[in-house]
Chain A
């Protein structure tokens, strides 16, 4: 058993990324996908290995996301598995490319836990990010002041320069909101995230105004679930569902915990999160109602 095996199995069919393994979850997703395609085509790991001049165990390592992918190997496997349409092929091949690439965040390696680094890989590859936030304004929408206040809360004893770098990492993530081929970001937030004055009154006021601006971006949707709606489907806590453009890649549900994170890709698990997300989106104020509501909250703040 290799040292990066999880010690404590987690509930559900969770994917545990290997620590500091770059975009590990992307490799796992790709590996899972290749396994499904191979099994559907009725091809054994030996046959697949033969096709790319490799062993059965190399196929197994690829399918478990433990090794990188050579473009040529992936292309040959797709042909062997009968995947001929261009959309499916190019989707898988481009993910293979991204799974091998070093993310822009690699220079933050010293402050990035492996479980979060994997999330950044997924976030960068997603075409749709749906998030529910219960307590804090979504990370992609935070102002520098708000991000700093949240970071200090989580890292009370960290030196000033580490705090700076953590904040700058968060700001850098927000580039994808402006990127021409970036994902759609559809965020539902509990009113609590607006009312909790993180960083004090001035920081919060600036954050709320920023939220109005962000919500107007073409690829961003913000919906608030107001207190007056009473209880709601998201009482269990914050989570994110990531969707990828490749038709056969499953959605991934991401649930952050204090010292780790859960990545769920099994359909039965993800469906439950998707259902709650759908309920929340239908229960929340509409995007336009949300802008009106935000302006009211700004007046009260």
Chain B
């Protein structure tokens, strides 16, 4: 079945609730659609393609980087479902659906898996509700919330997930949209404080210290063209997100190095740090 959080639905966000239609603008590049463009999807518009091309010109390997991120997502979710026995997933920053979405990988291992997708964009949410449909044994649901508002996410996720049992929190290429003023470490800490021992955090984060010059140039270009700004971080800064958690092997590594399935996965260019960690 597919269920929804208690107040999930279009037009329910903050002050814009009620009869006002959600606001969106395809004349400005949007992160989910730029990402879709890099992945070779068809849900993007001229402004997204222009911004995407600007980024590619600065860092051509971004098209491999986004694929390496998806490949890591699939490997991490399979590990969590098959080896760690996780049956509940909180996937924050869903993006436009593509191949190997979280629930597909998790329910391939364990059909009763329950997945809550979180995004703050009305069009992404519409896609998620229409296309990310669960197997009958499990559930998928969608929450309209911003990562900065962990309380809302946790409150609404409680309608679909049992917070007395382990939950895997997935933060795939999303923390770069929180700058230091947003206190991303506090956000991650409050999410992980709400889940019980035996829960997991799986994360990828764009690196400021891999292909450093190209990545800096790409960040500058994206920040001029996209509404959502990016802050790339270095190895030590990303490692701090796992404070108090136990990283599983091989630890905090480049995304290609995390249990690759194939030679192609192991050698793909990508400027991303990643890790999977257990809450003790």
Contact = CB atoms under 8 A, between A and B. Distances in A.
A230 B10 CA distance: 14
B26 A275 contact: yes
B19 A229 contact: yes
6 contacts: A221-B133, A223-B126, A229-B19, A271-B26, A282-B122, A286-B9
Contact of B19 (A186, A221, A228, A279): A228
B131 A286 contact: no
Interface in B21-43: 21-22, 24, 26, 40, 42-43
Contacts of A251: 42
A287 interface: yes
Contact of B131 (A184, A278, A282): A184
B42 A286 contact: no
B210 interface: no
Given A184-B131, A278-B123, A281-B123, A286 B4 contact: yes
Contact of B45 (A218, A228, A271, A281): A271
A288 B3 contact: yes
A229 B9 CA distance: 13
B45 to A, nearest CB: 5
A211 B122 CA distance: 25
Contacts of B122: 282
B130 A186 contact: yes
A279 B4 contact: no
Contacts of A229: 19, 21
Most A CB within 10 A of own CB, among B21, B24, B43: B21
Given A218-B133, A275-B26, A279-B21, 17 more contacts: A219-B133, A221-B130, A221-B131, A223-B126, A223-B130, A243-B42, A247-B40, A250-B42, A251-B42, A268-B46, A279-B123, A282-B22, A282-B123, A282-B125, A285-B9, A285-B10, A288-B4
Nearest to B134: A218
Contact of A282 (B10, B19, B133): B10
Nearest to A241: B42
Given A229-B21, A230-B19, A247-B40, A286 B10 contact: yes
B129 interface: yes
Given A271-B46, A278-B123, A286 B129 contact: yes
A271 B10 CA distance: 22
Interface string A226-239: 00111010000000
Contact of A289 (B9, B24, B43): B9
Contacts of A228: 19
A283 B23 CA distance: 10
A286 B8 contact: yes
A186 B133 CA distance: 12
Contact of A281 (B8, B19, B42, B130): B130
Interface string B130-141: 110100000000
Given A221-B130, A288-B4, A283 B21 contact: yes
Contact of B2 (A186, A250, A287): A287
Contacts of B42: 243, 250-251
Interface of A: 184, 186, 218-219, 221, 223, 228-230, 232, 243, 247, 250-251, 268, 271, 274-275, 278-279, 281-289
Interface in B42-97: 42-43, 45-46
Nearest to B126: A281
B127 interface: yes
Contacts of A288: 2-4, 129
Contacts of B129: 221, 286-288
A181 B130 CA distance: 18
Given A247-B40, A281-B123, A282-B10, A287 B19 contact: no
Interface string B1-22: 0111000111100000001011
Interface in B100-139: 122-123, 125-127, 129-131, 133
Nearest to A275: B26
Most B CB within 10 A of own CB, among A268, A271, A274, A288: A288
Question: Lowest 8 A-B CB distances belong to which pairs?
Answer: A281-B126, A282-B122, A221-B130, A282-B126, A278-B123, A186-B130, A283-B21, A286-B9
B19 A278 contact: no
Contacts of A247: 40
A282 B130 contact: no
A281 B3 CA distance: 17
A230 B18 CA distance: 12
Contacts of B9: 285-286, 289
Contacts of B11: 283
Contacts of A278: 24, 43, 123, 126
